[in-house]
A and B are shown apart, each in its own frame.
Chain A
Amino acid sequence: MHESSSLLHTAEVVHWAALIIMAVVYSLRLRWLFSFKPGADKSAPGAPDRTDKKRGAFYSVFNVAMPWSMESTRKGFVFYLTFVVFHLGIVAGISLAFLSTITPNFVAKPAFAWIIGSTLFLAFLVAIYRIFRRLLRPVMRLISTPDDYFSLFMLTVWFGLGVLTQAHMAGVQGFESVVFLVAYLYLTSFFLLYVPFSKISHYLYYPFTRIWIGRALGHRGSYPIVRG
Chain B
Amino acid sequence: MSKPAKTHKIKMMEEQLAKKLNRQVVGSLVGCVHCGMCNDCCHYVLTHPDDPKMTPSYKADQVRKLFKANHDWTGSVFPWWVGADKVPLTDDDLDTLKDVAFGTCTNCRRCTINCPMGVDTATLNRIMRGLLTNVGVMPEGVRVVSKDQWELGNQMGVLKEDYIDTLEWMSEELEEDLGHGEAEIPIDKAGAKIMYAINPREVKYDPRTIKEAALIFWAAGEDWTMPSEGWDNTNFGLFSGDDGLGGACAKREYDKARELGVDKIVISECGHGYRSTRHEGVNWSGEAEPFPMESSVMTMLSYVKEGKIVVDPTKNTKRVTFHDSCNNARSCGFYEEPRELLRLVTTDFQEMYPNRAEGFCCTGGGGAMSMSEYTPRRLKSGEVKANQIRETGAEIVVTSCHNCVDGLGDIIKHYELGCEVKQLVDLVADALVLEECAVMKKRPVTAAKIEVTEAPAAKVPEAAPAVAVDLPLAGRKILVVDDEEDIRIFLVTVFEDAGAEVIEASDGDECIAKAKAEKPDLISLDLSMPGKSGVDAFVELRKTPETEEIPVCVVTGHPEFRQVIYDRPVPPPEGYLNKPVDEDKLVSYVAHIIETKDEKES
Q: What is A's interface to B at a CB cutoff of 8 Å? A: 33-34, 36-44, 46-47, 50-51, 60, 63-64, 70-73, 75-76, 79, 83, 137-148, 197-199, 201-202, 205-206, 208-214, 216-217, 220-223, 225-228
CB distance from A222 to the nearest CB of B (A): 4
Q: List 23 A-B contacts (CB under 8 A).
A: A36-B26, A41-B283, A42-B289, A43-B278, A43-B280, A46-B279, A73-B37, A143-B34, A143-B57, A145-B34, A198-B74, A199-B34, A202-B31, A202-B32, A208-B27, A210-B118, A213-B112, A220-B279, A220-B332, A222-B330, A225-B113, A225-B357, A226-B356
Q: Which stretch in B76-84, B535-543, B565-573 binds the other chain? A: B76-84
Closest Cβ neighbor of A197 among chain B residues: B74
Cα distance, A73 to B354, chains bound together (Å): 15
Other A-B contacts than A202-B30, A225-B358, 19 sampled, CB-CB below 8 A, are A43-B280, A46-B279, A50-B333, A72-B41, A72-B115, A139-B55, A145-B83, A201-B30, A202-B33, A202-B117, A205-B117, A206-B117, A209-B31, A211-B118, A212-B23, A212-B24, A221-B334, A222-B333, A228-B339
Q: Which B residues touch A60, using CB under 8 A?
A: 118
B28 near A72: Cβ-Cβ < 8 Å? no
Cβ of B355 under 8 Å from chain A? yes
10 cross-chain pairs, A with B, having the tightest CB-CB distances, nearest first:
A221-B333, A145-B83, A213-B118, A72-B114, A209-B118, A39-B22, A46-B333, A210-B118, A222-B333, A209-B27
Q: Are A43 and B289 interface neighbours, CB within 8 A?
A: yes
| A227 with B354: CB separation less than 8 A | yes
Cβ-based interface call for B489 (8 A): no
Separation in Å of the A208 CB from the closest CB of chain B?
6
Residues of A within 8 A of B27 (CB): 33, 205, 208-209, 212
Q: B82 to A147, Cβ gap below 8 A? A: yes
Q: Note all chain A residues with C-beta closer than 8 A to B289.
A: 42-44
Task: Tell me which of A33, A143, A145, A228 has the highest count of chain B C-beta atoms within 10 A of its own C-beta.
Answer: A143
Within 22-52 of B, Cβ neighbours of A (below 8 Å) are at 22-28, 30-41, 45, 52
A223 vs chain B, min Cβ distance (A)? 8
B118 is contacted by which of A39, A143, A212, A221 (Cβ under 8 Å)? A212
CA distance A48 to B37 in the complex (A): 31
Whether the pair A40, B81 counts as a contact (CB closer than 8 A) is: no
| B22: chain A residues within 8 A (beta carbon) | 36-39
- Also in contact, A71 and B119, with CB within 8 A (given A39-B23, A43-B283): no
Interface Cβ pair total, 8 Å cutoff? 184
Cα separation A210 to B28 with both chains bound (whole Å): 10
For B119, what are the chain A residues with a Cβ–Cβ distance below 8 Å? 209, 213
Q: Are B23 and A140 in contact, with the CB atoms below 8 A? A: no
B21 & A36 in contact (Cβ 8 Å cutoff) = yes
Whether A146 pairs with B81 at a CB distance below 8 angstroms is: yes
Residue of A nearest to B335 (CB): A226
With A139-B52, A143-B55, A221-B332 as contacts: A39 and B37 at CB distance below 8 Å: no
Chain B count of residues within 8 A CB distance of the other chain = 68
Known A-B contacts A41-B279, A225-B357, A228-B355; the reply to A208 vs B23 at CB < 8 A is: yes
0/1 string, B472-514, CB within 8 A of A gives 1: 0000000000000000000000000000000000000000000
Contacts of A71 in B (CB 8 A): 41, 114, 354, 358
Which residue from B73, B278, B331 sits with its C-beta under 8 Å from A222?
Answer: B331
Confirm or deny: B53 has a beta carbon within 8 angstroms of a beta carbon on chain A.
yes
Do A33 and B26 touch (CB < 8 A)?
A: yes
Whole-angstrom distance between the alpha carbons of A211 and B286 in the complex?
24
Distance in angstroms between the alpha carbons of A198 and B26 in the assembled complex: 15
Q: Is the CB of A145 within 8 A of B31?
A: no
Q: Which residues of B contact A73 (CB under 8 A)?
A: 37, 116
Q: Nearest-CB distance from B569 to chain A (Å)?
A: 37
* B517 interfacial contact with A, CB 8 Å: no
Within the assembled complex, what's the spacing in Å between the Cα atoms of A146 and B26? 21
A72 & B34 in contact (Cβ 8 Å cutoff) = no
- A142 and B354 in contact (CB under 8 A), knowing A72-B41, A79-B37, A148-B34? no
B324-362 to A contact mask, C-beta < 8 Å, 1/0: 000001111111100100000000000100111110000
Q: Which residue in chain A gives the minimum CB-CB distance to B119?
A: A209
Asked whether, in the complex, the Cβ of B23 is within 8 Å of the Cβ of A217, the reply is no
Complex CA–CA separation, A168 to B112 (angstroms): 44
Residues from chain A with a CB closer than 8 A to the CB of B5 are none
Query: Counting CB contacts under 8 A, is B469 at the interface?
Result: no
| Distance to closest chain A CB from B77 (angstroms) | 9
When chains A and B are docked, how far (Å) is the Cα of A47 from the Cα of B295?
A: 13
A206 contacts across to B, CB distance below 8 A: 31, 117-118
Complex alpha-carbon distance, A72 and B329, angstroms: 18
Question: Is the Cβ of A147 less than 8 Å from the Cβ of B74?
Answer: yes
- Please determine whether B23 and A46 come into contact, CB atoms closer than 8 angstroms: no
Shortest distance from the beta carbon of B212 to any chain A beta carbon, whole Å: 26
Is B560 part of the binding interface, using a Cβ–Cβ cutoff of 8 Å?
Answer: no
Cβ contact within 8 Å between B357 and A222: yes
Contact B33 A47 (CB under 8 A): no
Contacts of A51 in B (CB 8 A): 333
Residue of A nearest to B27 (CB): A209
Query: In the complex, which of the residues B22, B112, B118, B331 has the most CB atoms of chain A within 10 Å of its own CB atom?
Result: B118
Q: Which of B55, B73, B358 contacts A227 (CB 8 A)?
A: B358
A72/B116 in contact, CB under 8 A: yes
The residue on A at minimum CB distance from B331 is A220
Give min CB distance, B337 to chain A, whole Å. Answer: 9
Say yes or no: A43 contacts B116, CB within 8 Å. no
Q: Which residue of A lies closest to B84 (CB)?
A: A145
Central interface residue in B286, B331, B339, by most chain A CB within 10 Å: B331
Among B31, B334, B357, max chain A CB count under 10 A is at: B31
Cα–Cα, bound, A53→B80 (Å) = 38
Cα distance A148–B358 when bound, in Å? 29
